[in-house]
Structure 1
């Protein structure tokens, strides 16, 4: 074995800046209503992310793992280390956190529009797809905070393992789609408390089936999206843009009665827009 070539491969191919990208994606995935897929779009890695997930079991698996490993480490690190901080901020300053992410999400749209070259590539069918996607995601705002959370699962048997696995599968299938929040779906099905409790307290028994479900969901949904990008590239971009636009209605929390809190929300919105603009300049 040529160890020098292996060392060269590791040094050149592993994208260490995916660590910070993963931190951003992981932090957003913890917040109900915010999609990690949207953050991947913002960071300019969405198509590569889909491609890498599809390429794990191909001959080029090393190249794809070199992309995914630091990204995965960043996502997990953010979920574990920032879960308490984000949950605290979300409980005490929910509007401000949501306005911050609202700015990030709104800031994605111009970059998506430019990348799709919509002025030249979009026709009537593309705008129909965009509007339908936006309406479908936006309608999730009608659910509000969803049904009351069920108690945290603390006893485990085969039934709960299957439920945890399917919950992880559902959440990750949504997580990979821009505009659709995996955490929000967990909230709707009453599993969000169990998910965050397991992360905060390192309870591995529920994390293992949840994690397996998440991995399985990512692999399956990535194949669907990869097919769509290969066969219907600009239609898929219209779909993605619609999903992102629709998520604005889901994330938008409304205004508060306290003027100072509203000012803070406005500042957070501006910060989000500026960060999105800055990241767009760096990543594109």
Structure 2
């Protein structure tokens, strides 16, 4: 994957700094809310709110600090050096917002998805569809033949990931471990939903119930393996964003388009797509509301970024 356009800034180049704790708390809450909805990715919210590259960089520096602390050289000094490069005014409020949202809305959101599936899917279809313009804009536009191929590759990948047949696995520790590691990758990849992947293997409801009921054993085991997956995907995405930023954004745009399959409002119990129902005007209206909400959020973010010195 090669780009002729200018690459992303090197790792040591300062990224835009989001230093408003309240704003970052709200960004984290948004990410936490959408991560409980099958078909929607927290990475999409990170892209739309303008913190995606900076969040990947922060994740890389935190994991690099842990590695230096364990392997050296100069363990303490090396770890401190990496941690000084983290924008903690972004990371800490973001984590608090995510945790608060997950712990408070996991149960109600699961109930809404279960009781009003078509309505919720239509709304989130619009939210994700409206978000596709963000990686398109960040790629620089004016795609050529190779980039159109990358877009198609991403779209096919998103379609395949969201066409996985649903199954039901016993939530044993050795089933939860790989599921958590893979699902958390979707937290980083816009368009791919960790909740949807958990739903595909039958672990969506058990995981939400564990959070809602404060099952600390399940939560700790899930969190441990999610951390393993997060370390791997953050390292990979940082390499791609640093060396192939334009191509990566093109692929992510395709991935988000292909993943819209999981948010088609009319589906049967097995997830197979059906034709539009008689309520299609309402579903279309909800989707348009979702698109408008994302564009409003993008506009607000761009205005705030313009005011940042």
The TM-score range, normalised by the shorter chain, is 0.7 to 0.9
Aligned length in residues: 260
Greater helix fraction, Structure 1 or Structure 2: 1
Q: In 2, distance between residues paired with 1:241 and 1:135?
A: 11
Q: Does 1:20 align with 2:26?
A: yes
What RMSD over aligned residues (CA atoms) do the two structures have, in Å? 2.0
1:268 corresponds in structure 2 to 286
Q: In 2, distance between residues paired with 1:212 and 1:61?
A: 21
1:99 corresponds in structure 2 to 122
Could you state the TM-score of these two structures normalised by the residue count of structure 2?
0.78
2:4 corresponds in structure 1 to none
SS of alignment partner, residue 40 of structure 2: coil
1:49 corresponds in structure 2 to 55
Mapped contact 2:39–2:260 kept (Cα < 8 A): no
1:8 corresponds in structure 2 to none
Unaligned runs of 5+ in 2: 1-17, 66-78, 267-274, 303-309
Mapped contact 2:135–2:250 kept (Cα < 8 A): no
Cα displacement (A) at 1:107: 1.0
Unaligned runs of 5+ in 1: 1-11, 154-159
Q: In 2, distance between residues paired with 1:212 and 1:16?
A: 28
Choose from 209, 214, 224 the match for 1:202: 214
CA distance change for structure 1 residues 125 and 192 in 2, over 3 Å: closer, same or farther? same
1:61 corresponds in structure 2 to 83
Please list, as runs of the form range in 1=range in 2, the aligned pairs for 1:97-246 lying within 5 A after superposition: 97-119=120-142, 122-143=143-164, 146-147=166-167, 149-150=168-169, 153=171, 160-246=172-258
Choose from 86, 92, 99 the match for 1:76: 99
SS of alignment partner, residue 142 of structure 1: coil
Q: In 2, distance between residues paired with 1:171 and 1:80?
A: 18
Alignment deviations for residues 96-129 of structure 1 (CA, whole Å, 9 cap, x no partner): 111111111111122322222111xx33221111
Choose from 258, 262, 267 the match for 1:250: 262
Could you state the TM-score of these two structures normalised by the residue count of structure 1?
0.84
1:3 corresponds in structure 2 to none
Mapped contact 1:162–1:209 kept (Cα < 8 A): no
